[in-house]
Structure 1
Amino acid sequence: MSDKTSWKTRHRSFYYELAEEPADPDLDPATTALLVIDVQNYNMQRPAPETLSGRDKAHYDAWTPFFDRMHGTVIPNIAELLKLFRAKGIECLFARIACQTEDGRDRSLSQKKPGFNNLLLPKTTWISQFVDELAPEGDEIVVVKTTDSALTGTNLRLMLHNIGIKTVICAGIYTDQCVSSTVRSLADESFDVVVLEDCCAAATDALHEHELEVINMIYCNVMTLADLKALMNLQG
């Protein structure tokens, strides 16, 4: 029976039920980078609940577990990881959704369609910036994208190559959208990828857990922050 407490056996899809346990990823600090994805002011804002009623209030309540997870787990964990990596001189990079134009005419089609992903986030506005707790520092690289994948619409692949990065550790939101799209792109470009399950979130826990199962082992290794700290011998 598999040890479900181990990252090597958790989040296995049907495809990998009989697969051998994966080897430990190569986490050499000189060739490893952290990529923080889309934890921006726009997706951490909420309306005042007293102004809502009916379906709007029900929808607000349905999102509450996501915000609880972000404030209680995801943002503090990413902040801890940034502190640890910065102290060790390990590369930290950021990807955020933002358009170059004020009217958003340069956005990809997915960000122009009506619905949840209809986003108008000019690059200089406050709402398009990272939340204060996870703000980039110094000359840390930030790429601006109008796509889900941080590679598709930017020169991030080239910069990672130029820096000498082989392994990318991914954190951020949403697990089943921009995180997943970025992970798949990185894997297709032959980077080793680690996704930290307690440094990510989707709109619901069900979507989060399902996507981790989909991408694990084929596109990345899924593990916790504690797992990573143990593998890299990182001390807080």
Structure 2
Amino acid sequence: MSTDPSRRDAPYVAGETALLLVDMQRIWLEPGLDPSHPERGPDHYFYRQTAAQTVPNQQRLLAAARAAGVEVIHTIIQSLTRDGRDRSLDHKLTPIHIPPDLPEGLPPAALAPAGDEILLPKTSSGVFNSTNIDYLLKNLGIRQLVVAGILTDQCVDMAVRDAADRGYLVTCVADACATVTPERHETALKAFGGYCWLADTAAVAARFEALGAGRPGR
């Protein structure tokens, strides 16, 4: 691990680090809910992978982040209007539309926001394009952004690249992300790996725990 604060793997700094969970929603995670892919049953790779690894690893990250006082932000795909007229053109063409009052559009209980954690609805693949996350992160004093979520080669990819372009030091927690096939997952990590520090859950959780150990009163 480098001690150079200009490196992507620089040590996390208390008060300047946030965890971002991307699109961890029931509609994508629970078999039978995704209207675009009714053919995918519970034995599909994606559902098995997210249930066995992605969600448990994110639970571990959340627990460590919350204990350490690390800012936690959730983003979900969700239209602001019931008919989705506010969606991006791409989401209209795909089509992707999750109305604001759809329960399945929210995170599962295991990953639900706690306390006053921020939940940002987005209407495009890129959270930096269709939310005010950049403004929020700057207001919060965040310089280091830890990203995990789905899909690795779509919305996670965009979050990593866009955050890097805006001047954040980005960590992607590779084993807390997933996509439709293992090949797509690995290809994506190789493609955007130059924009971030690729780490695993154990390494990032240990860093969060170290931040917590240094908190006043600990």
What is the Cα deviation at residue 97 of structure 1? Answer: 0.4
Distance 1:96 1:226, change over 3 A: same
Which residue is equivalent to 1:38? 23
Q: What one-letter code is carried by the residue in structure 1 that aligns with 2:48?
A: D
* Among candidates 146, 156, 163, match of residue 186 of structure 1: 163
| Pairing 1:75–2:33 present | no
Alignment of 1:210-225 (within 5 A): 210-217=187-194, 219-225=195-201
Amino acid at match of 1:204: T
Superposition deviation, residue 113 in structure 1: 1.4
Deviation sequence 1:156-186 (CA, Å, 0-9, x none): 0011001100000001100000000111110
Letter aligned with residue 156 of structure 1: I
Percent identity of paired positions between Structure 1 and Structure 2: 32
**Aligned equivalents of 2:70, 2:159: Cα separation in 1:** 20
Match of 2:68 among 88, 92, 99: 88
Structure 1: stretches of 5+ with no match in the other structure: 1-6, 9-21, 49-55
Equivalent residue number for residue 202 of structure 1: 179
Q: Aligned-pair RMSD on alpha carbons?
A: 2.3
Following superposition, the deviation at residue 207 of structure 1 comes to: 0.4
Q: Structure 2 stretches of 5 or more lacking a match?
A: 213-218
Larger radius of gyration: 1
- Shift of residue 151 of structure 1? 1.0
Return the match for 1:47 from 32, 42, 61.
32
Give the 5 Å matches for 1:131-150.
Answer: 131-150=108-127
- From 11, 14, 21, the equivalent of 1:26 is 11
Amino acid at match of 1:41: R
Instruction: Check the 8 A contact 2:8/2:169 in 1, yes or no.
Output: no
Change (3 A) 1:186 1:63: farther
TM-score by length of 2: 0.86
Report the count of equivalent residues. Answer: 204
C-alpha distance in 2 between matches for 1:65 and 1:29: 37
Whether the aligned pair in 2 keeps the contact of 1:174 and 1:200 (CA below 8 Å) is: yes
2:97 corresponds to 1:120 = yes
Q: Amino acid of the residue matched to residue 12 of structure 2? A: L
Equivalent residue letter for 1:224: D
**Alpha-carbon shift at residue 229 of structure 1 (Å):** 3.0
Which one-letter code corresponds to 1:227 in the other structure?
A
Report SS of the residue matched to 2:191.
Answer: helix
Q: How many angstroms apart in 2 are the aligned matches of 1:76 and 1:220?
A: 22
TM-aligned CA deviation for residue 63 of structure 1: 6.8
Deviation, structure 1 residue 42? 0.9
Equivalents in 2 of 1:47, 1:35: separation in Å? 26
CA positional deviation for 1:230: 3.7
